[in-house]
Structure 1
Amino acid sequence: MTGAAAKDAASRGDAAGDVVPQALNLPGSAVWMLKSLETQVRPVAERIAHKIQTSTSAPDEPRDVSLHQLILTATHNAMRLFLDRALDRPTSPSLVDDHFRRLGYRQAARGRNHEVIDGAVAIALSEVWDELRVRAAENELSASALNSLSEALTGFVAHLEGQVRIGFATGSAERDQDQGVARARLLDHLLAGADDDEIETQAAIAQWPVPALVTVLAVQPAAGAALEAAMAGPDALARTGRSPMVVLCASERAAAVIDALKALSPAPRVVACWPVPAADVPSAWVWVNRALALVDAGIIPARPVIECLRHRSEIWLHAEPVLRRQLAQELLEPLFNETPNSRDILSETLLVWLETRDSAPAIAARLGVHPQTVRYRWKRINELFGEDLHDPEFVLQMTMLLKASVPMWIAGDQSDFERFRANEGG
């Protein structure tokens, strides 16, 4: 079966010649015996899952919690399905089939051979059959009824083995694909915040173990230039087809990857996030794009390499632009009523005071003006805001608001004032 065919079969939940088992039609004595087993499904499933994992893993291999959970879930649900069919209850096999296809897919994608899977199935069948034989002896089940039960169980397990083969074929086909395609898929999974089990599987296919800490880069090509994933070097995951290009690498390799990108001619602009665990890659991708947008808006200085760590406040403060606009209209109304020149110098002086709480001479030195000028401005600020400047909540909101807004105004964004004038006119 080709990779595409295997994928298609896996999505349909069938395969050529594979027949979904129907109601079991067991003798009444066998049905009665199986009904007494309903309370034992979970303990038996846990015993099977434990035995499969200890029997199929190397002695020094760490316990794979996600694999154990998948085996336990698949075994438990399969046993429930078998009992429901035996008791002639309505059943839906699709979820069980999916679990067993996932088991096959995972094992193939991670390079395990089919003999390991065959061994696991044999262990499960042996454990279940041992439990049934003990119950059969206790209930004095006839040889004929026991034979019917054996045939039903064998047919049921054969169906599940078929589902494992479908998943194994799909995983094998994907593992054999070009490594570049596999790495691109892994990058997409990391950006989408896929679950750990899926990411580990894709990492095995791509042969790119996910490090404890990763660095996410947004790479914006120079005008007229094109970027290729290989330009980021062999240590990085990179994907073109989106703008900016996304690059992900182990944090200890970030400097080397950035140097390789800086060496391109013409050099692109690189925005680098601080190191994050793999689970935070989707958020880091949002942060680097927000930083790039703030560079384009003139709020963050335009440099060849933008380190997000130096601009976390700006990235955070501009996370909710609608909220910033609303607060600006509410809190900054006294400033907006000033002339443009007065508004600019008063907001700049107020922000420096909020950030430093320094004396007039210290603020004057920072602003490059005379201390008396600062005192005059502070007098006007007190006239505008009065007692509010002694309210801790107001001061906190004003500090954050001005830190987010003043760089915008300096960069030429006049939307706050235009909105204020429009509201005043209404």
Structure 2
Amino acid sequence: MVRRGPRRTAGHGLHLRPEAIEEMRSRLPQVADETVAAIIAEVPSYRGALSGVMGENIRTAVQLALGGFISLAARRRGADAGTPAAPATEGAYQLGRGEARSGRSVDALLAAYRIGARVSWREMSATAVRNGVDAETLASFAELVFAYIDELSAASVAGHTDELATSGRVRQRLLERLVHHLLTGAAPQVVQAAAERAGWEPPTTLTAVVVPESQVRPVVGALSPGTLQAAEDLPGLDDRVLLLVPDAGGRARGALLRAIEGRGAVAGPARPWLEVPSSVDRALRALRAGIGPDTEEHLARLVLTADPEALADLRARALAPLEGLRPATAEKLAETLRAWLLHQGRRDDVAEALFVHPQTVRYRMGQLRDVYGDRLEDPAVVLDLTLALALDDAAAQTSSRASSASAS
């Protein structure tokens, strides 16, 4: 189906008697009032909206439109002293922009035009008939009325569309500025002011979610409409995008995790919205460590990998007594000691975890007591060993996750 453009009024051949034109012009205020009243009565979006300054602006726009039409109808073909409809067309364009700012849809605006055309035609045609206009001229008059309404409504739709596009871009820039203030730790009053300018209602919490660029659209579509997206590149993001999701903590976290499931995303913890940088930091650290998608399930691993150099030093000190042994023996003893600590000395459980006989566990623990002595009874040493040996488990699981991600 080919979409028809608006009918044109230029070059019309209509000629009305001066008396008819004069009477129409004298009735402009009354026709404008009747048009506005009909719009209020028949278009729900305009009920209660056409009082005060707004109502006066609409009435002025209606009179301007009707006046432009009468000036157009009064012109003979070939007269070229300007475009009488131009001010009315500009007014219609600005009306469309104003209606978009007021939150009314283009459908409501077009409905108002249809009603305006009906009321105007009823009044003007009655005036034309009273002034002896014949049937053929009246038909041409009707065609000109509706062509004129076509032009005005097309101008208003263009204004409405342009305003939405402009306001959308402006709001997006304001939201990007808000995210910048949040991530750079700006003063609370600065962030609050940025949220107000952007028309963004602050939530109780925000949760940082790092998502691959290719998955942003489906993930955002499943999240709260108030979700913010960082426009600037952050270190460590690479080809990923940072989202800040409102009120996705507690019971709501399940919905968030379902939205990112299988999409290679990482979700940080929910934090008070002004403290969201801490959620961002954790999500990025988890991303670097190959941990995800829910950082809340890997807190111990995140703690262990927070300072790799300190952990390496702790490991070297805690396992120093094994340095004099053959590497294969030292590795087996370290593995046994880790299982012993995790299973709180339950020999059968340790044997099952290591796939060895309980007597083998007993033998190895004897070797460990030979090299560590009474230090295995010291709580401080036990803590150091637990942390040092936990790295083996964290590293193994991290490597496994990284391998899985590469394979996928």
Structure-2-length-normalised TM-score:
0.49
Structure-1-length-normalised TM-score:
0.47
- Please say which structure displays the higher CA radius of gyration: 2
